[in-house]
Amino acid sequence: MTNMIIALVLGVFFGFALNKAGLTKYNKIVNVFRFTDMAVLQFMMTALVVSMSGLYILRALNLVTFPNVPGTYIVGNIVGGLIFGVGMALSGYCPGTCAAGAGEGKMDYIVPGLLGFLTGAVIYGLTYDQVFPAISAIANYGNIVIPDAWNVDPFLFITLFTLISFLLFYLIDRAGWQRKAQ
């Protein structure tokens, strides 16, 4: 029960962040793929830098244990990502931004959006046996994390990831890597 309330509260902050980042708009999502507005990338990489540093520091201090790590099965992760990008560019949604956009009162998020996700969920659930076991069996490495798989110190990896992110942010904000929209 407590967990359910925590989930609800976290969801509100999550949806609030998506709204303020502008990700509940079609143009923000699709324009990252046109390199005319990189907010999606800046938002995601900032979230990753903050959360990965925080979590690995908290774990080093024995203040948290990690939940189940999402599994790595190379072909399925990439193919899933490839199909996902098509859906994003077509609709301007992610599952999360669609729920937040629905809360803003946008009918195109409430009706075709939420119904589309439910329909997709039904289709996936009914074809799961034919698709998922086969594709997830290819190059399946289980629930690994990069520090263990590559035998690198997690903080070295996180430092590198942070530096790469800051370099990208610099290139986007200061060096004109963001194209002008036509």
Partner 1 sequence: MKFILNYIRKETWSPYVAGTLLGLVGIAAVWASNSLLGASGAFENIAGLIGKALAPALFDNMYFNFIMPPGITYGVMLVVGLFFGGLVGAASSGTLKWGKKDSANSDEQWKRIFGPQTWKRWLVAFVGAIVLEYAAGIAGGCTSGLAISGGMLLAPSAFLFIMGMFASGIVTALIIYRERY
Q: Indicate which single residue of 61, 62, 82, 176 sits in contact with partner 1 (rule: CB under 8 A).
A: 82
Q: Is 160 in the site for partner 1 (CB under 8 A)?
A: no
83/121 Cα distance (integer angstroms): 15
Q: Is 116 in the site for partner 1 (CB under 8 A)?
A: yes
Q: Indicate which single residue of 60, 62, 91, 156 sits in contact with partner 1 (rule: CB under 8 A).
A: 91
Binders of partner 1: how many residues, by CB under 8 A? Answer: 127
Q: List, in sequence order, every residue forming a beta bridge with 106; answer none if it has no partner.
A: none
130/37 Cα distance (integer angstroms): 39
Q: Is 168 in the site for partner 1 (CB under 8 A)?
A: no
**DSSP helix/strand/coil, 141:** strand
Q: Indicate which single residue of 60, 104, 153, 171 sits in contact with partner 1 (rule: CB under 8 A).
A: 104
H and E: helices and strands count for the chain: 9, 2
Q: Which is nearer to partner 1, 68 or 174 (CB)?
A: 68
Tokens (6 digits) for 25: 């708009």
Which residues are CB-contacts of 139 (< 8 A; sequence separation ≥ 6)?
73, 74, 75
Site string for partner 1, 20-49 (x = CB under 8 A): xxx-xxxx--xxxxx----xx-xxxxxxxx
Q: Is 159 in the site for partner 1 (CB under 8 A)?
A: no
> What is the separation of C-alpha 74 from the centre of its chain, rounded to a whole number of angstroms?
17
11/175 Cα distance (integer angstroms): 35
Q: Is 171 in the site for partner 1 (CB under 8 A)?
A: no
Q: Indicate which single residue of 137, 141, 159, 177 sits in contact with partner 1 (rule: CB under 8 A).
A: 141
Q: Is 12 in the site for partner 1 (CB under 8 A)?
A: yes
> Cβ 181 to partner 1, closest distance in Å?
9
Tokens (6 digits) for 43: 């938002």
Q: Is 178 in the site for partner 1 (CB under 8 A)?
A: no
